[in-house]
Each structure stands twice: as structure tokens, then as C-alpha cells.
Amino acid sequence: MEQRVVFMFSGQGSHYYQMGEQLFNHNNTFREVMIELDGMVKKLIGESIIKKIYQKNKGMMDSFNRLIYTHPAIFMVEYSLTQMLIQKGIKPDCVLGVSLGEYSSATIAGILNVDEALESIIVQANAVERTCPAGKMLAVLGPFSIFEDPKVNQNSELVSINYDSHFVISGESRKLDKIERYLHNKGIYISRLPVLFGFHSSAIDPISQQFKNYLDYKSIQLPQIDFISGLYGEKMEQINTDYLWDVIRQPMKFSEAIRFLEDKCDHLYLDVGPSGTLSNFAKHHINCRSHSNTYSIMTPFKRELYNLKYFENEIIRERMGKR
């Protein structure tokens, strides 16, 4: 049985300057879609996201954290990469997004149209930047038992458990600063996500009613392909507008989503986010009896043309071998 293809979409924290630069310079489809989306964004914020992403004096390690730029930037590169793959004949059987990536996932599934998705994430970014207190998101590399420490769980909220030794917490900056120092002193490795607000925590509750009221006017369609929820960890036959708030407020269940898919059949998991993070996470939930595979195209190491060619060759080899 041929593997089902899953496109996976990541959210805030997966972005960086120059993401997708090789594709933008060398692939016509990717470039054309990026330019089309950039035109939509210009009408909404009066600025070019393409110019922001591909500033010549900015590198991967430079701080890139204004939501009004990073929100649409993530969506744009994910949507453009997906359209490029579809144009090459590589189509998803199902989609799986996490956090902001659920907007990309929902758009590819036909639940949202592209202009409404872009407008929604820009409205969200504006509201958070204007209203919410400064926050942080921390990836903790260690067992989940660390979160059971009252000094951790009483001052933060759980975002996700990505695998046995990797989880993410969120909250207001001053509380997360204390946790960071506390865990550092205990010799536990922590990585800050490049995000200035505490998504998936009460730190973004100040925009709840405002954003829900806005979402009430959005048109939600039934998915045209299997829509796997990163919020609930299972297939959704339909969603409502509250779902589009919950995906940035509630904990994520990416691990459960992969286990849900693995229980059904073998899959080819393709990370179409900017960093390849979800591909790495998914590997931890594929057991030795599975014939599933994971791949990523874009990573911070500027190897997307090589990765794309490798992936295409692997797909051809896999499908030829099953004839």
C-alpha cells in the first residue's frame, strides 16, 4: 500500500530571515506565489513582507520578532512551498498544522480561502502587539517531570509535549525569566523561541473577545482533504470559528496527531514549514515497525534546493519500487 502524504505546517518560532531564499531566487512557482501573497499583505499593512524577509543585511541569527511581519511571513512561505510542490505533482492526502500553522493547513484543506487566512493572521498579530503583555515561550530539553516542579508549572503554562525529552512552556516574560534562571542553575538546557508574546497561555487572553468577534464573520468551509488537528490530535470533519482562536490559545497535541495517523497506516510526512522542526519531532513517534518516513524542504541551513531534489528522487524511487 502506497504511503499517504501528510503536509505539516509549523507556527511561530520556526521563522528566520532569508527563509526560502534559494527557492525564491530559483523556482518560478514559489517566487510567483510569494509575490502574489505579498501584494495582498501590502494592501493590509502597507509594507512588503518579501522585503522584510530578504533584507540583504539580515542573517538567520538576527532578531526577527515583529508579529505583524513574522505572522504573514510564515504563512507566505508555507503556502508558496505547498503550491510549488502541488505544481510538481506532489499533493497532500492530508494536512496537519500546529499553532499558527493551522491557518496554512486550513487554507490548503479548503476550509479558509487564502485572502481571509492572511487577513485573519494580520488582525491577530496587530491585536496581540497592541494589547497583550510581553511574553515568552521556552523549549525545555528534558523529561516532562521537570514541568511537575511547582516553580515551573505555577509560573507557566504548557504549550506542547513534542517528545519524551522536549516540551514547550509559555507565559508572561517576568515569570518565564525566573523559570529560565531556575532551570539553568539546575543544568537543564532551555531554548528561547523567537517570539515576544506568550501564545498558548493566558498572556494572550486580553485579545480573546476582540478576536473571536472578528472571527465570527469569517466563512468556514468543509475540508476538501483530510484535516488533522494539531489542537485535538485527530481528524476533524469540520471546524468552527472558535477553533481559529483555540489554535493559538490552547495546548497543542502534535504528538497525539502523529500517533493518530500512525495507528491508521504508513505515511510520508513532509514538513513544509520554514525550519524542518516538525519533521524532527515526528521521527520520535514513528516506531521500528512502521514504514513511514519524514522529510523537510526548508531549513535554516539554506539547502532547500538540495533537499527538494533529494525528496523528489526518494518519491520517484519509492513509487517505482512499488510497481
State the cell numbers at 38: 505579498
Beta bridge partners of 9: 97
- Is there a single domain that holds both residue 268 and residue 312? yes
* Phi, psi (degrees; rounded to nearest 5) at 270: -115, 115
Q: What is the pLDDT of residue 323?
A: 40
Choice among 99, 105, 120, 275 that is catalytic: 99
Residue 145 structural domain: 135-192
Q: What is the pLDDT of residue 320?
A: 41
- How many CB atoms lie under 10 A from the CB of residue 227? 23
Q: What is the pLDDT of residue 318?
A: 65
- Is there a single domain that holds both residue 113 and residue 67? yes
pLDDT tens string for the chain (323 positions)? 578 999 999 998 888 889 999 999 999 999 999 999 999 999 999 999 999 999 999 888 888 889 999 999 999 999 999 999 999 999 999 999 999 999 999 999 999 999 999 999 999 999 999 999 999 999 999 999 999 999 999 999 999 999 999 999 999 999 999 999 999 999 999 999 999 999 999 999 999 999 999 999 898 999 999 999 999 999 999 999 999 999 999 999 999 999 999 999 999 999 999 999 999 999 999 988 888 999 999 998 889 999 999 988 877 666 544 54
Alpha carbon distance 242, 216 (integer Å):
8
User: To 10 degrees, what angle do helices 208-215 and 114-131 make?
Assistant: 160
The domain that holds 147 is classified in CATH as: 3.30.70.250
Beta bridge partners of 74: none
- Is there a single domain that holds both residue 150 and residue 39? no
Q: What is the pLDDT of residue 302?
A: 86
Q: What is the pLDDT of residue 58?
A: 85
* Catalytic-residue membership of 296: no
State the cell numbers at 161: 509535549
Pure H helices in 10-113 = 21-26, 28-45, 49-53, 67-87, 101-108
Cα 40 from chain centroid (whole Å): 21
- Is there a single domain that holds both residue 119 and residue 241? yes
Q: What is the pLDDT of residue 14?
A: 86
- Is there a single domain that holds both residue 276 and residue 169? no
Q: What is the pLDDT of residue 61?
A: 81
State the cell numbers at 30: 514559489
Number of domains in the chain: 2
Q: What is the pLDDT of residue 316?
A: 64
- Is there a single domain that holds both residue 313 and residue 174? no
Asked if residue 18 lies in contact with residue 51, where contact means CB atoms within 8 angstroms, the answer is: no
